[in-house]
Amino acid sequence: MTLARVLALGGLYDLLFGVAIVVFTRPAAELLGIRVPDEPVYLYLNGVFLLILGAVYIAASRDPERYPAVPPIAAVGRLLGCFLFAWVWRGGGPPAFLSLGLGDLALGIVTFAAWRRARLK
């Protein structure tokens, strides 16, 4: 998979997750088996951050050479997300967190591999 496609895929993933948090908060929480906080402003803020991040990834996917810092930062961020989700899951968090962590791990590995291949060309 090309670096452009990997970045676009990661961007779409984050955009969808951001929309789920901001627009479909309760149904998304039910699907993931988590409760919505009494004051969800920080949850919504995370959704907004995901919308911004998804837009950055999609912008970078249009011309990855113009945004050389985005792919390695994205890969490391995905791996950190994986570790966070796994840590919460191991501490008794919902099973969906393991799935989300594995999704971040897969995207992180694929992003890193595509970035390395693009740099070697």
Consecutive 10-residue averages of pLDDT for the chain (121 residues): 96 97 97 94 97 98 96 97 97 95 97 94 72
How far apart are alpha carbons 106 and 120 in whole angstroms? 21
Domain boundaries, the chain: 3-120
Give pTM, 2 decimals: 0.91
pLDDT at 100: 96
Answer for the pair 110, 6: CB distance below 8 angstroms, yes or no.
Answer: yes
pLDDT at 93: 93
Residue 67 has φ and ψ, to the nearest 5°, of: -125, 65
pLDDT at 16: 97
Q: Is 119 exposed, middle or buried (0-12, 13-18, 19+ CB in 10 A)?
A: exposed
